[in-house]
Structure 1
Amino acid sequence: MPDQEKQIEQIDWIKVKAPQDQGMIVQLLEKIGLGEAESIVLAMEEQAKYLIIDEYKGRMIADSYGIKIVGILGVLIQAKQKGAISAAKPHIDQLIEIGFRLDKKLIERVLKGLGEL
């Protein structure tokens, strides 16, 4: 993971930032993992337009705070629709290869909707 973090930090349109409200993070840790907790708190602090989050409990908590959410498949749908990628399937396959757990039926619906199945 450290190599990935260095690569991410080198991408000029990505800003790496830590949330400030540690108390809220501690509260959220009773229900979800650290990454999700920090993401939710940072989204609130930054008044983010959307939070990219796939974990079910994290999505429910973010939604309860009024945070608009989108999952990784939603990002890929938008990327294809806007012409940033030519196909979503290779990216979905890569995500699965590196350990993302994605619902097979949802993948099938997404790929059908994008005309890739």
Structure 2
Amino acid sequence: MKVVFNTSPIIFLYKLGYLELALNLFDDIYIPASVFTEISRKEDKLNTLIEVLIQEEAFKQREIKLINIFRGLNQRIGRGESEAIVLAIELEADYVILDDFVARKEAIKLGLNVKGTLGIIRKLMIDKYIEVIAIDDLYEKLKEMKFRVKKDVFNKIFE
């Protein structure tokens, strides 16, 4: 399965300790150049990990080519989300991994399949990579990390 990640799912999965486990779910993982740049701005452990994952080709960094589509999207959503959507189109990815609600709607309008951080966590649980005993604790932990999701949406994903 081929996927393209935006920045926020990488950051949240990393903070939860699930990023490297999530690599097991996909065959090919791509990130657009702007996502790498955004993560690389900070000199931290995530930056170091992403550089290692790119060197090991667990993550493949790519520049986008469909500039006109990017420009149209970038008027409505952020650069990282726009590039992730465009790269998913170019690569004919199975999924684009986005958390931003507006970006997800744009991706769906363009015919892409979308997953987010919560969908990946759920898949990790289903495939027995992780065990979450108390779903409410996970919700609270995500809220502390400034992950925005309504409780009813969260509950629906994990019911």
Short-chain TM bin: 0.7 to 0.9
Residue in structure 2 matching 1:26, options 58, 68, 71: 71
Deviates more, 1:6-15 or 1:40-49: 6-15
Tell me which residue corresponds to 2:145. 98
Task: Report the counterpart of residue 36 of structure 1 in structure 2.
Answer: 81
Q: 1:34 to 1:103 in 2, by over 3 A?
A: same
Q: Which moved more, 1:2-11 or 1:44-53?
A: 2-11
**Structure 1 residue identity aligned to 2:50:** I
Mark the runs of 5 or more structure 2 residues left unpaired by the alignment: 1-38
- The answer (yes or no) to whether the contact 1:62–1:68 under 8 Å persists in 2 is yes
Q: Which fold has the larger relative contact order, with Cα–Cα distance below 8 Å and residues 6 or more apart in sequence? A: 2
Question: Which position in structure 2 is the counterpart of 1:47?
Answer: 92
Change (3 A) 1:48 1:101: same
Q: What does 1:1-117 correspond to in 2, within 5 Å?
A: 1=39, 2=42, 3=44, 4-11=46-53, 12=56, 13-87=58-132, 89=135, 92-111=139-158, 113=159
Deviation at 1:75, TM superposition (A): 0.9
The alignment partner of 2:65 has SS state of: coil
Partner residue of 2:3? none
- Greater shift in the superposed pair: 4-13 or 54-63: 4-13
| 8 A contact 1:43–1:51 mirrored in 2 | yes
**CA positional deviation for 1:23:** 2.6
The residue type paired with residue 19 of structure 1 is I
Q: Per-residue displacement from partner, 1:90-111 (whole Å, max 9, x unpaired)?
A: 6554443332212212223334
TM-score by length of 2: 0.61
What is the distance in 2 between the residues matched to 1:16 and 1:98? Answer: 26
Q: Give the total of aligned pairs.
A: 112
RMSD: 2.1
More strand by share: 2
Distance 1:66 1:9 in 2: 31
| Structure 1 spans left out of the alignment, 5+ residues | none
Give the whole-Å Cα distance in 1 for the aligned partners of 2:142 and 2:130: 15
**Partners of 1:47 and 1:92 in 2: CA distance:** 32
Identity among equivalent pairs (%) = 28
User: Match of 1:15, SS?
Assistant: strand
Q: Are 1:9 and 1:15, in contact at CA under 8 Å, matched by a contact in 2?
A: no
